[in-house]
Structure 1
């Protein structure tokens, strides 16, 4: 379907499912733990597939890690501030504060690794950076 990766389709499907059929009541703690376990398994399995040499090479990619840190903690917050400066009345101040907060957060471990893998990037470096 449109040449999209099966993982990406699954991710979109999961978001749509959670939007229209959210978890309620007694199922919330079960799915919270299930999500934690699945994320941990995904991180472990991605790391377990790597050779020791690949992990060391990923750890020593300091230019890549520096670029990731600069984008995450400098570029994205500056983009959030720039958006607020250009469109100050578009959203309430509390919403802008939330957007700036999101601009300061790193991406999730599973998306960093999964999207790097899908894009044919350096998965060992992504695992180490995550």
Structure 2
């Protein structure tokens, strides 16, 4: 299985502040210790603790935030994690591999069966399983 076939891909370079506040400020054990200090400072400046932040508040985290491209992966923090480093480097090295990976993931997602009623769950927080 190739990198394009095995991963979920990301292209929109925005982070909702509401989704990272806990990691930035409260989770010392699993938090931002491994985060590049300049990027952490950038996020903390744009998502300050104690401010009135909603899920509409976001920070741009790549140079082409609203363009469909592979720039999200260039200098991505995920490249520091050995579990994702190879895939991140592959996507960062060229748009063609990223586009193939995105197409593959999109086809898989679009062919999945939507669960309804008691068969599935609706997540109130997209990155948490209940």
Which structure has the larger Rg? 1
User: Do these two structures clear the TM 0.5 threshold for a shared fold by scoring above it?
Assistant: no
Q: Which has the higher strand share?
A: 2
Greater share of helix = 1
- Provide TM-score, normalisation by structure 2: 0.25
